Amino acid sequence: MNGFTLLLARDLRLAWRRPADAAVALAFFIVAACLFPFGVGADQQLLTRIAPGVLWAVALLATLLPLERLFLADAEDGALDRLALGPHGLATLVLAKAAAQWLIVALPLLLAAPLVALLLNMDGRGFGALIAALALGTPTLVLIGTVAAALATGARRGGVLLALLALPLELPVLIFGAGAIDAALAGLPFVSHLQVLAGLLLGSLVIAPFAGAAALKLALE
Amino acid sequence: MQFLANPARFLRIANAVLPPLAILTIALFAGGLYYAFLASPPDYQQGDSVRIMYIHVPAAWMALMTYASLAVFAFLLLVWKHPLAEVLAKAAAPIGAGFTLIALITGSLLGKPTWGTWWAWGDARLTSVLVLFFFYLGHIALTHAFDDATRGARAAAVLAIVGVVNLPVVKFSVDWWSTLHQPASISRIGGSAIDPAMLTPLLLMAGAFLGYFLCLLLLRARAELARRKRRALELLAAESGV
């Protein structure tokens, strides 16, 4: 096995031993989305109108929540120093952490999204676009969040800081993700939105491992 | 560049440059404000509200320029670990946030009489400048988030460099998504589209804002160096038990 699969398997094993951690993000996603019907009222048409944006904004926050401890446990028990000295390099570690995080946190969101969309009275025509956009967009969110988590490792109030750092960078994903669903709901082609999301994903796949590795190096100094 | 790594040397230069720079800035402000508010004609469509533009446009230019300089300081800090770059980046970020806020507020004041709205989420120039403001806030928060100042400065430097992707979006947003905000009218192919009577106060104000930025940067860097020196002395005193 190469370094990436080893590190990914390690993180998945660790997450498997504590399934509650992954469930919290999913619960947050559902509960936070349910705040909106309570807040704006039970007007079905209004809910239908805001459903794509609400779904994306809440999914974005749900992927950010569990990131605070992403590198913290490894930094505290010294595993991070050991991994930095190891043969695989920090960029591989960042990529493996992001992949594990996507499988643990984002994939359940993806599966729960149609249910939440139903709660928000979203039209059935948007479901295909919803799943496709989330599948292409959430990896980008996790990659950006991983870099922010690496930057905030060891900071005071790291969780809030992390959100402040990641949110401006994640705005394009939100815009095009919600745009894809809006286009599908209006009966328009949404392939161009998905192409932009795929482009953002490819770009962040190239940049995030190195930016994250640079940030982790600072945490280790 | 190595020359300025010595804080005492930097302070000597800063102290020598500051008084003439401050006088020049005051003169530029006096001239710029005179032309902007008294000696320039009102716009034939916008009336006197065009005078907000003489604050708005230089502030927006400086918001972008300050971020660019922040990114340069970040680069110097990460690549050469230049000690002065750390001080300058910490000094520059709040100034840039201030310029961005001024640009946003004056833009909003200018938007109400001309577009009929304070804020338009659909306009890419407005939203991308708001994102620029968020980057400044993130930079300031990250700088102060660590007990070790150097660690905070370096983490913030990574963020500053990542945030550079937003600069071309701000600059070209008016060409890519043409909605409310007008495109560039001064540096464009085919010469400036603005009347000399309005260009004079605008350029004077731009010079004044630039001078103001440099004055503040040097003052804040000087204060930061003094703060570090005091902290080092306090630590030394605590160690020796005085």
A126: DSSP letter: G
pLDDT for B176:
74
- Note the pLDDT tens digit of each residue in B24-66: 999 999 999 998 888 777 777 777 788 888 899 999 999 999 9
A166: nearest Cα among B169, B127, B138: B138
Q: Is residue B192 predicted with pLDDT exceeding 70?
A: no
How far A220 CA sits from the closest chain B CA (Å)? 10
Nearest CA in chain A to B141: A161
Q: Which of B146, B152, B162 is facing A169, going by the closest CB pair?
A: B162
For residue A1 the two structure tokens come to 């096995």
pLDDT for B87:
92
Where b means 16+ CB within 10 Å and e means fewer, A64-94 reads bbbbbebbbebbeeeebeebbeeebebbbbb
pLDDT for B47:
75
CA distances to A54, A135, B28, B189 from A121, in Å: 12, 21, 59, 51
* B138 to A164: CB separation less than 8 angstroms, yes or no: yes
Contacts of B140 in chain A (CB under 8 A): none
For residue A33 the two structure tokens come to 């989305």
pLDDT for B190:
61
Query: Helices A107-119 and A19-40 meet at what angle, rounded to 10?
Result: 20
Question: What mean pLDDT, rounded, does chain B reach?
Answer: 87
* B159 to A151: CB separation less than 8 angstroms, yes or no: yes
Q: Which of A165, A171, A207 is facing B159, going by the closest CB pair?
A: A165
Instruction: Give the A:B interface size as CB pairs under 8 Å.
Output: 54
Contacts of A171 in chain B (CB under 8 A): 131
Show which residues on chain A lie within 8 Å of chain B, measured between beta carbons. Answer: 147, 151-152, 154-158, 161, 164-165, 167-169, 171, 207, 211, 214-215, 218-219, 221
**B43, β-bridge pairs:** B47
Instruction: Tokens 């750092």: give the residue.
Output: A165
pLDDT for B27:
94
- Half-sphere exposure of residue A180: CA atoms within 13 angstroms, side-chain side: 27
* B158 to A215: CB separation less than 8 angstroms, yes or no: yes
* A164 to B135: CB separation less than 8 angstroms, yes or no: no
> Mind giving me the DSSP string for B23-63?
HHHHHHHHHHHHHHHTSSPPBTTTBGGGGGHHHHHHHHHHH
pLDDT for A186:
87
Per-residue pLDDT band at B116 (split at 50, 70, 90): confident
For testing contact with chain B, the best of A143, A162, A217, A218 (most B CBs within 10 A): A218
Helix (H) or strand (E) holding B180: none
List of residues 6+ apart from A170 with CB closer than 8 A: A60, A140, A141, A144, A145
pLDDT for A66:
86
Per-residue pLDDT band at B240 (split at 50, 70, 90): confident
* d(C-alpha A159, C-alpha A64), whole Å: 9
pLDDT for B191:
62
- Note the pLDDT tens digit of each residue in B205-236: 999 999 999 999 999 999 999 998 998 899 89
- ipTM higher than the 0.85 cut: no
Amino acid residing at B23: I
User: Low-confidence residues of chain A, pLDDT below 50?
Assistant: none
